[in-house]
A = this chain, B = another copy of it.
Amino acid sequence: MRKWYNVSGEQGDIVLSSRIRLARNLKEYPFPNRLNRQQMLEVNTKIREVTEKSGQKFMYLEMEQLPKEHAISLAERHLISPDFAENTEGRVLLITEDEEIALMLCEEDHIRLQVMGSGLCLEEAYKKADKLDNYLNSNLNYAFDSRLGYLTQCPTNLGTGMRASVMLHLPALSSCGQLSRLANTISKLGLTIRGVFGEGSNSMGDIYQLSNQVSLGISEEVAIKNLTSITLQIIAQERAAAGEMIKNPEVQDKIFRAYGVLKNARLLSTDEFMSLMSIVRLGAVNNILDINIEKISELIVNMQAATLSVMKGESLPPEKRDMFRAEIVRETI
């Protein structure tokens, strides 16, 4: 089955993916952390019955039944939250086979509806989310207040209940230290940028998530327009910085070496893979290396620890995992 990330997206040199997430709750039930097991089942069943008639085909995954590594793999690929993979009691995931649309049931809210897409496609993703949301709205009783908008467990989600985000690969801005200054400007605009993999502001693989912070007092359309506009500005900055950077013979040398190691290594840790891959992707995007960018993006999605074990069909100890990772990377690039 072709996944959403196998497709090349707009501004795909820098934007790996776009995501729209809507938080919704049912009027007749307390928020999930106040539900007992029986009530959770009721909520899940109710939503499942409605989605089954939506015209869209969803897999119904009870998180408690799912092997741990499968759950973590879903979180690694950003299809569910880490908390949803960790605390599985009474929780259900509805997900399309191409992994484009997912509904976490009984996460922080009753419904966390998520649409993912390749490249910069926030409007398109929002349309899809909105369409499904409208259908659910007409068949379920959403908790909605005319002043506060959609009611959510956490007040930061009140209003539209929407988080829009893009995942960006910013090796040049990251290496020249412009990113922290950028993060300051961005926060003043009601947006936030943070590393996707690893801890702290220095992201593994130079991959960052830019998202809106404000959902109250601003329409979905305006929020998406803002986010798209800032994204385009960051893209322009990254391209300019990358264009300068790759003129340096030492950077070119680094790119080719990173390729040489990825193409030949027999053991690759996640950390090393991510940092080499970031350099190789920079080279591929700037036509220094002749490698398909979608292949690289797919590797970034799939080379995390638990996902590798799922692919191999067995739980892999670290060394075997590093060996298997190196094998797949060699064959792919």
Contacts and interface: CB of A to CB of B under 8 A. Distances in A.
Interface of A: 249-250, 252-253, 256-257, 259-267, 319, 323, 326
Contact of A256 (B252, B253, B259, B264): B264
8 contacts: A249-B319, A253-B326, A257-B260, A257-B264, A257-B265, A259-B260, A259-B264, A260-B265
Contacts of A326: 253
Contacts of A256: 264-266
B257 A261 contact: yes
A222 to B, nearest CB: 47
Nearest to A288: B266
Contacts of A257: 260-261, 264-265
B264 A250 contact: no
A260 B330 CA distance: 11
Main secondary structure of the interface of A (DSSP, over half): helix
Contact of A260 (B249, B252, B261): B261
Contacts of A250: 267
B261 A249 contact: no
A37 to B, nearest CB: 47
Contacts of A264: 256-257, 259-260, 263
Contacts of A261: 257, 260-261
Contacts of A266: 249, 252-253, 256
Nearest to A256: B264
B265 A263 contact: no
Contacts of A267: 249-250, 253
Contacts of A319: 249
Contact of A253 (B249, B259, B265): B265
Contacts of A265: 253, 256-257, 260
A245 to B, nearest CB: 15
A266 B254 CA distance: 8
A319 B323 CA distance: 35
Top 6 A-B pairs ranked by shortest CB distance?
Answer: A260-B264, A260-B260, A253-B266, A256-B264, A253-B267, A260-B261
- In this complex, the member of A252, A266, A267 whose beta carbon has the largest number of chain B beta carbons within 10 angstroms is A266
